[in-house]
Structure 1
Amino acid sequence: MTEYCCIFQYVMVVMHGGVPIVFAGTEAPAAFAEVISIGGLGQSVNAKLSSTIADILQTKLSIDSSRFYIKFFDSPRPFFGFNGTTF
Protein backbone atom coordinates (compact mmCIF):
# COMPACT_ATOMS: atom_id res chain seq x y z
CA MET A 1 0.00 0.00 0.00
CA THR A 2 1.31 3.44 -0.95
CA GLU A 3 0.53 6.28 1.40
CA TYR A 4 0.87 9.97 0.68
CA CYS A 5 0.51 12.70 3.27
CA CYS A 6 0.80 16.45 3.06
CA ILE A 7 0.22 19.04 5.77
CA PHE A 8 -0.31 22.75 4.99
CA GLN A 9 -0.93 24.90 8.06
CA TYR A 10 -4.38 23.56 8.99
CA VAL A 11 -4.99 21.26 6.01
CA MET A 12 -3.90 17.63 5.88
CA VAL A 13 -4.31 15.30 2.94
CA VAL A 14 -3.70 11.56 3.27
CA MET A 15 -4.02 9.28 0.28
CA HIS A 16 -3.66 5.51 0.31
CA GLY A 17 -2.93 4.01 -3.11
CA GLY A 18 -3.05 0.38 -4.14
CA VAL A 19 -5.86 -0.48 -1.74
CA PRO A 20 -8.36 -2.89 -3.32
CA ILE A 21 -11.83 -1.36 -3.57
CA VAL A 22 -15.04 -2.71 -5.04
CA PHE A 23 -17.52 -0.01 -6.01
CA ALA A 24 -20.89 -0.81 -7.59
CA GLY A 25 -19.82 -4.43 -7.99
CA THR A 26 -16.68 -3.82 -10.05
CA GLU A 27 -12.99 -3.26 -9.37
CA ALA A 28 -12.70 -0.41 -11.88
CA PRO A 29 -10.88 2.65 -10.49
CA ALA A 30 -12.85 4.12 -7.59
CA ALA A 31 -12.33 6.27 -4.51
CA PHE A 32 -13.74 7.26 -1.13
CA ALA A 33 -12.90 10.61 0.47
CA GLU A 34 -13.59 12.20 3.81
CA VAL A 35 -13.57 15.97 4.23
CA ILE A 36 -13.51 17.04 7.87
CA SER A 37 -13.72 20.71 8.77
CA ILE A 38 -13.96 22.81 11.89
CA GLY A 39 -16.80 24.97 10.63
CA GLY A 40 -17.29 26.24 7.11
CA LEU A 41 -18.99 23.28 5.49
CA GLY A 42 -22.50 23.50 4.14
CA GLN A 43 -24.56 22.73 1.07
CA SER A 44 -22.97 25.24 -1.32
CA VAL A 45 -19.40 24.74 -0.06
CA ASN A 46 -19.77 20.95 -0.16
CA ALA A 47 -21.07 21.12 -3.75
CA LYS A 48 -18.07 23.21 -4.83
CA LEU A 49 -15.65 20.89 -3.05
CA SER A 50 -17.32 17.85 -4.60
CA SER A 51 -16.99 19.35 -8.08
CA THR A 52 -13.33 20.26 -7.55
CA ILE A 53 -12.47 16.85 -6.11
CA ALA A 54 -14.30 15.17 -9.01
CA ASP A 55 -12.19 17.15 -11.49
CA ILE A 56 -8.96 16.23 -9.70
CA LEU A 57 -9.85 12.53 -9.48
CA GLN A 58 -10.77 12.46 -13.17
CA THR A 59 -7.75 14.35 -14.51
CA LYS A 60 -5.05 13.03 -12.16
CA LEU A 61 -6.25 9.49 -11.37
CA SER A 62 -8.72 8.67 -14.19
CA ILE A 63 -11.51 8.00 -11.69
CA ASP A 64 -14.93 8.83 -13.10
CA SER A 65 -17.11 11.08 -10.93
CA SER A 66 -19.71 8.31 -10.75
CA ARG A 67 -17.15 6.04 -9.06
CA PHE A 68 -16.54 7.80 -5.74
CA TYR A 69 -18.25 9.01 -2.59
CA ILE A 70 -17.28 11.93 -0.40
CA LYS A 71 -18.23 12.11 3.26
CA PHE A 72 -18.42 15.67 4.60
CA PHE A 73 -18.18 16.15 8.36
CA ASP A 74 -18.25 19.45 10.21
CA SER A 75 -16.63 18.87 13.58
CA PRO A 76 -17.25 21.01 16.65
CA ARG A 77 -14.12 23.03 17.51
CA PRO A 78 -13.60 21.40 20.95
CA PHE A 79 -13.43 17.99 19.22
CA PHE A 80 -10.17 18.86 17.42
CA GLY A 81 -6.88 19.02 19.28
CA PHE A 82 -3.83 20.92 18.09
CA ASN A 83 -0.68 22.24 19.70
CA GLY A 84 -1.53 20.87 23.12
CA THR A 85 -5.06 22.23 23.28
CA THR A 86 -8.32 22.29 21.33
CA PHE A 87 -9.61 24.85 18.88
Structure 2
Amino acid sequence: MPTFILHTSSAINDHQNQNIRKDTVDILSQELGKSKDFIVTLIHDSIAIEFGQSEAPCAYVEVKSVGTLSPEQTTAMSDRLCNALQQILSIHPDRIYIEFQESPRHLWGWNGKTFAK
Protein backbone atom coordinates (compact mmCIF):
# COMPACT_ATOMS: atom_id res chain seq x y z
CA MET A 1 0.00 0.00 0.00
CA PRO A 2 2.82 2.51 0.45
CA THR A 3 3.60 4.10 -2.89
CA PHE A 4 6.75 5.85 -4.11
CA ILE A 5 6.41 7.98 -7.25
CA LEU A 6 9.46 9.66 -8.76
CA HIS A 7 9.25 12.38 -11.39
CA THR A 8 12.69 13.48 -12.57
CA SER A 9 14.35 15.39 -15.37
CA SER A 10 17.22 12.89 -15.30
CA ALA A 11 17.45 10.00 -17.73
CA ILE A 12 17.56 6.72 -15.81
CA ASN A 13 19.26 3.59 -17.11
CA ASP A 14 18.20 0.05 -16.15
CA HIS A 15 20.85 -0.31 -13.43
CA GLN A 16 19.84 3.00 -11.81
CA ASN A 17 16.17 2.05 -12.09
CA GLN A 18 16.79 -1.22 -10.23
CA ASN A 19 18.83 0.55 -7.54
CA ILE A 20 16.18 3.22 -7.00
CA ARG A 21 13.44 0.62 -6.69
CA LYS A 22 15.46 -1.54 -4.28
CA ASP A 23 16.55 1.37 -2.09
CA THR A 24 13.13 3.02 -1.93
CA VAL A 25 11.36 -0.25 -1.12
CA ASP A 26 13.90 -0.86 1.67
CA ILE A 27 13.48 2.68 3.03
CA LEU A 28 9.67 2.67 2.99
CA SER A 29 9.48 -0.82 4.47
CA GLN A 30 11.86 0.05 7.30
CA GLU A 31 10.45 3.48 8.13
CA LEU A 32 6.76 2.54 7.82
CA GLY A 33 6.98 -0.99 9.15
CA LYS A 34 5.22 -2.34 6.04
CA SER A 35 5.91 -5.50 4.07
CA LYS A 36 8.01 -5.04 0.93
CA ASP A 37 5.40 -7.14 -0.88
CA PHE A 38 2.89 -4.28 -0.79
CA ILE A 39 5.10 -1.33 -1.76
CA VAL A 40 4.53 0.14 -5.22
CA THR A 41 7.21 2.12 -7.09
CA LEU A 42 6.58 4.27 -10.16
CA ILE A 43 9.40 6.05 -11.95
CA HIS A 44 8.92 8.75 -14.58
CA ASP A 45 12.25 9.90 -16.00
CA SER A 46 13.43 12.32 -18.68
CA ILE A 47 10.45 14.61 -18.16
CA ALA A 48 10.39 18.39 -18.41
CA ILE A 49 10.72 19.76 -14.88
CA GLU A 50 12.08 23.15 -13.99
CA PHE A 51 13.04 23.88 -10.39
CA GLY A 52 13.80 27.48 -9.42
CA GLN A 53 14.03 28.58 -13.07
CA SER A 54 16.87 26.13 -13.64
CA GLU A 55 16.96 23.06 -15.84
CA ALA A 56 19.65 21.38 -13.70
CA PRO A 57 18.70 17.82 -12.67
CA CYS A 58 15.85 17.77 -10.18
CA ALA A 59 13.12 15.53 -8.82
CA TYR A 60 9.62 15.66 -7.41
CA VAL A 61 8.74 12.65 -5.25
CA GLU A 62 5.40 11.51 -3.87
CA VAL A 63 5.20 9.11 -0.94
CA LYS A 64 1.67 7.89 -0.23
CA SER A 65 0.61 5.73 2.67
CA VAL A 66 -2.54 4.49 4.35
CA GLY A 67 -2.90 5.94 7.81
CA THR A 68 -0.87 8.49 9.72
CA LEU A 69 2.71 9.50 8.97
CA SER A 70 4.56 10.86 11.99
CA PRO A 71 6.99 13.79 11.79
CA GLU A 72 9.77 11.37 12.73
CA GLN A 73 8.88 9.03 9.85
CA THR A 74 8.68 11.80 7.24
CA THR A 75 11.93 13.37 8.44
CA ALA A 76 13.76 10.04 8.28
CA MET A 77 12.30 9.18 4.85
CA SER A 78 13.13 12.63 3.48
CA ASP A 79 16.74 12.29 4.57
CA ARG A 80 17.15 8.74 3.32
CA LEU A 81 15.32 9.23 0.00
CA CYS A 82 17.28 12.40 -0.80
CA ASN A 83 20.54 10.60 -0.02
CA ALA A 84 19.57 7.65 -2.22
CA LEU A 85 18.62 9.89 -5.16
CA GLN A 86 21.83 11.87 -4.76
CA GLN A 87 23.94 8.70 -4.74
CA ILE A 88 22.14 6.99 -7.62
CA LEU A 89 21.21 9.93 -9.88
CA SER A 90 23.55 12.71 -8.68
CA ILE A 91 20.59 14.98 -7.93
CA HIS A 92 21.48 17.34 -5.10
CA PRO A 93 19.01 17.21 -2.18
CA ASP A 94 18.25 20.93 -2.52
CA ARG A 95 16.77 20.09 -5.95
CA ILE A 96 14.38 17.45 -4.62
CA TYR A 97 10.88 18.07 -3.29
CA ILE A 98 9.10 15.25 -1.48
CA GLU A 99 5.36 15.35 -0.85
CA PHE A 100 4.10 12.97 1.84
CA GLN A 101 0.42 12.03 1.65
CA GLU A 102 -1.70 10.27 4.25
CA SER A 103 -4.76 8.41 3.00
CA PRO A 104 -7.68 7.37 5.17
CA ARG A 105 -8.12 3.59 5.08
CA HIS A 106 -11.49 3.81 3.33
CA LEU A 107 -9.92 5.74 0.41
CA TRP A 108 -7.35 3.06 -0.50
CA GLY A 109 -8.58 0.02 -2.42
CA TRP A 110 -6.97 -3.36 -3.02
CA ASN A 111 -8.21 -6.80 -3.99
CA GLY A 112 -11.81 -5.67 -4.48
CA LYS A 113 -12.16 -3.91 -1.13
CA THR A 114 -10.68 -1.07 0.91
CA PHE A 115 -8.40 -1.11 3.93
CA ALA A 116 -11.26 0.14 6.14
CA LYS A 117 -11.90 -2.14 9.06
From 28, 38, 50, the equivalent of 2:66 is: 38
In 2, the alpha carbon distance for the partners of 1:20 and 1:62 equals 17
Tell me whether 1:80 sits opposite 2:87 in the alignment: no
In 2, the alpha carbon distance for the partners of 1:79 and 1:38 equals 8
Gaps of 5+ in 2: 1-10, 26-35
In 2, the alpha carbon distance for the partners of 1:82 and 1:72 equals 20
RMSD: 1.9
Within 5 Å, which residues of 2 pair with 1:8-87? 8-87=36-115
Aligned residues: 85
| Other structure's SS at 2:48 match | coil
Indicate the percent of aligned positions where both proteins have the same amino acid: 35
Superposition deviation, residue 40 in structure 1:
4.4
Superposition deviation, residue 9 in structure 1:
2.0
In 1, the alpha carbon distance for the partners of 2:90 and 2:68 equals 29
Is the helix fraction higher in 1 or 2? 2
Deviations 1:28-84 (A, max 9, x none): 000000110012411000000000101111000000000011100110000000000
Please, what TM-score do these two structures have when normalized by structure 2?
Answer: 0.67
Greater RCO structure (CA 8 Å; 6+ sep): 2
Match of 2:32 in 1: none
